[in-house]
Amino acid sequence: MNSETITREEISGSIAEKIRIPHNHGGRVLKKILEIMLEGLAKDGQLKLTSFGSFVILHKNKRVGRNPKTGQDVMITPRKSVSFRASDKLRHKIAKS
Same domain, 54 and 9: no
CA 79 to chain centre: 18
Q: Would you state the pLDDT for residue 1? A: 41
CA-CA-CA-CA torsion sign (46, 48, 54, 55):
negative
Q: Would you state the pLDDT for residue 3? A: 64
Same domain, 49 and 96: yes
CB atoms closer than 10 angstroms to residue 47: 20
Same domain, 37 and 61: no
- CA diameter of the chain: 57
Q: Is the model's pLDDT at 97 over the cut of 50?
A: yes
What CATH number does residue 75 fall under?
A: 4.10.520.10
Q: Would you state the pLDDT for residue 4? A: 85
Q: Is the model's pLDDT at 2 over the cut of 60?
A: no
Instruction: Give the residue-averaged pLDDT of 53-82.
Output: 95
Provide the domain limits for residue 81. 45-97
Listed in sequence order, the DSSP H helices in 8-87 are 8-18, 23-44
